[in-house]
Amino acid sequence: MNTKLIYTFGVIFLSLSISIFANPVEKKTKKGKTVNLEIVSEGTVNLYKVEVEVLKPTIPENPMESYTETQIRYYVGNANNETVSEITPTNYKKLLASHLSNNNEVTTKIGSKGYKFINVEGIFMAYNSN
């Protein structure tokens, strides 16, 4: 069953539609928000994701004309912890270096070719395969 939850915020008709997966994992973010996530890579440190549909105005002056953009948001958390942190392009180096610190081979490559934010799934596959 694929259910959609709609959250509407008061800023220019911005709404989010979050996909709920068949077997979601419920976790709390550092900010205390509960999210339903899909496990992408499982090991001592887990990578989770959620697909978010963002409704954006086509023309800023006319918010009634809009389009939907699907974004994937990633979260990281230790396997034995219920709290997860969102991984963003601005915090991924620091966050991954702290969570994956016991694998020096992976942590030294973070930020280099093949180990950038867009490669986050591959980084966790490499980490959890060891």
- pLDDT for residue 90: 95
For the segment 44-57, the average pLDDT, to the nearest whole number, is 87
- The two structure tokens encoding residue 38: 């899909």
Question: Quick check: 4 pLDDT over 90?
Answer: no
Range of the domain at 33: 4-129
Closest CA to 81 of 36, 18, 23, 30: 30
Q: Give strand ranges (E) for the chain.
A: 4-8, 15-19, 25-29, 34-41, 45-59, 62-78, 83-87
For the chain, how many structural domains are there in total? 1
Question: Quick check: 9 pLDDT over 50?
Answer: no
Residue type, 100: L
